[in-house]
A and B are shown apart, each in its own frame.
Chain A
Amino acid sequence: MTTQDIIQVILFFSLLIGLTPVLGNYMYKVFTGNKHVMLPVFGWLEKLTYRFTGVNPDGETNWKSYTFGLLIFNLTGFVFVFLIQLLQVFLPLNPAHLPNVSWHSAFNTAVSFTTNTNWQGYSGETTLGYFVQMIGLTVQNFVSAATGIAVLLALIRGISRKTTEKLGNFWTDLTRSILYVLLPLSILLSVILVSQGVIQNFKPYETIKTLQGATQVIPMGPAASQIAIKQLGTNGGGFFNTNSAHPFENPTPFSNLIEMLAILLIPSSLTYTYGKMVGSTRQGWAVFSAMFILLIAGLVISLYAEYSANPIFRHLPRMEGKETRFGITNSILWSTSTTAASNGSVNAMHDSLSPLAGMVAMLNIMLGEVIFGGVGAGLYGMVIFIILTVFIAGLMVGRTPEYLGKKIEAFEVQMAIIAVLVPNFVILLFSAWASVINPGLSGLNNSGPHGFSEILYAYSSAAGNNGSAFAGLNANTLFYNVTLGIGMLLGRFGVIIPVMAIAGNMAGKKITPLSAGTFRTDNGLFISLLVGVILIVGGLTHFPALSLGPIVEHLLMNGGITF
């Protein structure tokens, strides 16, 4: 690594830490109904939304109605995206005359975009016309991210309110997230991206004769508007097959920095919003610190792996699956950030990363997507781990566990365990199944332990709603489309429903005032405990599987063995 590499890393994190309280404070104002800067700009749109839909913005509901609204809304989106893919040839804005999508690919893609996963079994430029990309996928990019924020808001209200069953209004939370947070930031980011060379047009694909006289068809389309929200909403679904490695999606090192920042910006800022909403910014920073420690640890391991020579390739740097303009450091900074946040966009091919860097990417997802994680989703996932941590700490000292004045009892712990187990269950069982049957094995691009890693990564990505891939795996088959689709659904709603149940149950409780005996959750001791619990749960669950994939591959590679 050179000094310039280190400067880039420091610059990136300084921007992230600097912007966290700024955006966090703004979102606090938005979500608590205070006055804020976007109100004069988009306030009329919010009123129009309620008038058009007949929603009463002040009508708050209990957790069951809140969850029911959320599920129905997501179902509506799923059905719509599913159908327009099946009927693509009859729809406008398809200048490349792309055919209808197969039912299982359409199912997979519809689930993928409604669950904020944005796993892509298809290649954008050869599968989907502009109509489906915009009206289907861009919309889901917004609403799935807003869904994540809404769940988080309900959970925060459950924690901070007392003896009530009201958790807020799903439609209002959804509307405000989109109008005041996601849309303004996306507009800003889109324009910055176009200034760097990201395309934004409705032209047909351009056919040109190259310098050598060959024919090259250059794809076109409204890319910038979708890329902005795919980064900000931790969606990650690229306009093109190679996502943000494609020069039209990410043309310059500056666009790369801004896109990378957009991955972590909202999840990181939400920790500050969280602190403000529960009445202590220290609590927010404690959560931020736990996430940050895990992120940096992963980054250091990945950089070390990528900058180490091995007997097969003594030559450094290893540029397989990486772009010249980004180099190694920016590729690794991205691979760590995109898997820590459940974004899943890539600027380098994860399949060609060093085994240990690939393992960190996988582990970031396996730990439950709580290292910043998805928009909203990362933080509500982290609260699940906080509940487990205070429970374990309570057992150690023999006191009733409490978090922010709320007693943590059997129900909360049961729900937390469900939320932790469901995604892990998906990862391990589906991976094991795919590893022993022909439809699973026939999609592999690499053999030996790396082949197993491709399968393990795919199901981790689905269950964690990440969406990145060891993309050599050909997953656009009936088997993978269906099993990964089911995995994404379980990974999303198998967590959201228990989280909402916890929110509902906690809202009904009294708040015990702080006393000398209260176990503090905003100091270094708690942060280390929390990090420990996350690593122990993730490590115990996934160490055996990781040993069969990236760990053994790393050891064999250092012995000079190839497959």
Chain B
Amino acid sequence: MKTFFISIKIFLFFTILTGILYPLFITGIAQILFPAKANGSIISRNNKAIGSALIGQQSDTAIYFSSRPSAVSYNPLPSGGSNFGLSNSKLKDLVNQRKKQFIAFNRLDSFTVIPSEMLFASASGLDPHISPDAAFLQVNRIAKARHFTDIQKRKLEQCIRDLTEGPQFLCLGEERINVLLLNLNLDQIK
């Protein structure tokens, strides 16, 4: 019986410590040191929240850069991947279909090597990034849809180069570009 009481008391003690005080303490520190990040890296335009810098958005119109395929169509509730195995014929069909679509949509040569992240769905379904290569392949299509002059088009290409994030600390992770940030900058090009 004594063991039961000790067990309940110690459980109660650690519930308060690690279940209440610890998360509250971290929330306090987080809100003081990194308030924007702790609250979801929300980006606003004209004082209206337009998304999170970390959460990708469905983007499939001609005037914006497209984001990766997503198994949940960028609906974060809940996040998810396709979970297709490599031997799943549905995956093979989807990849072929996306390849054709990407080439047709961007009016590319049929031999163009398309960066693989544009053919395969991400793990979270919310991947905010694509590779710079995938962005460059979309420039002509966007310039055309927006009736850009050559100068504006060059500005857009410069924009891609500026927003490209290299590996963190020179060695970690992959080269990438944030689609939402890129599209917001795209809207600024006059």
Which positions in A face B, CB cutoff 8 Å? 4, 7-8, 11, 45, 49, 52-55, 65, 68-69, 72-73, 75-77, 80, 123-126, 134-136, 138-139, 141-143, 171, 174-175, 178, 183, 186-187, 190-191, 194-203, 205-206, 208-212, 214, 216-220, 222, 224-226, 228-229, 240-242, 245-248, 251-254, 256-257, 310, 312-313, 315-327, 330-331, 346-349, 351-355, 358, 445-450, 453, 470-472, 553, 556-557, 561-563
Contact = CB atoms under 8 A, between A and B. Distances in A.
A8 B53 CA distance: 25
A139 B18 contact: yes
Contacts of A11: 171
A194 B38 contact: yes
B81 A471 contact: yes
A319 B84 contact: no
B184 interface: yes
Contact of B55 (A174, A212, A218, A561): A218
A202 B168 CA distance: 30
Contacts of A561: 87
A557 B87 CA distance: 6
Interface in B115-153: 116-117, 119-131
Contact of B123 (A65, A126, A248, A323): A323
Contacts of A563: 87-89
A374 to B, nearest CB: 18
A76 B11 contact: yes
13 contacts: A65-B3, A76-B11, A139-B18, A206-B49, A216-B51, A219-B76, A240-B78, A245-B124, A247-B56, A320-B82, A320-B121, A324-B129, A348-B123
Contacts of A205: 77
Contacts of A198: 37
A91 to B, nearest CB: 13
A558 to B, nearest CB: 10
Contacts of B81: 242, 245, 320-321, 349, 351-352, 471
Given A195-B33, A203-B39, A225-B27, A210 B57 contact: yes
A415 to B, nearest CB: 23
A325 B174 CA distance: 5
B97 interface: no
Interface string B12-44: 011101111011011101110110011111100
Interface string B68-87: 10000011111111111111
B48 interface: yes
B142 to A, nearest CB: 13
A93 B131 CA distance: 39
Interface stretch (B58-66, B101-109, B155-163): B58-66
A76 B8 contact: yes
A392 B5 CA distance: 44
Contacts of A358: 85
A171 B176 contact: no
B106 to A, nearest CB: 17
Given A178-B18, A197-B41, A319-B119, A325 B173 contact: yes
B22 A211 contact: no
Contacts of A448: 87
Contacts of B111: none
Contacts of B61: 212
Given A54-B6, A199-B40, A224-B26, A248 B168 contact: no
Nearest to B45: A211
Given A252-B168, A312-B86, 11 more contacts: A200-B38, A212-B61, A216-B51, A220-B40, A224-B38, A242-B126, A245-B123, A247-B126, A315-B116, A316-B116, A323-B127
B84 A247 contact: no
B75 A216 contact: yes
A324 B15 contact: no
Contacts of B19: 134-136, 138-139
Given A324-B130, A471-B81, A246 B117 contact: no
B50 A210 contact: yes
Contacts of B22: 138, 183, 186-187, 225
A325 B129 contact: yes
**Residue of A54, A138, A199 most packed against chain B (CB within 10 A):** A199
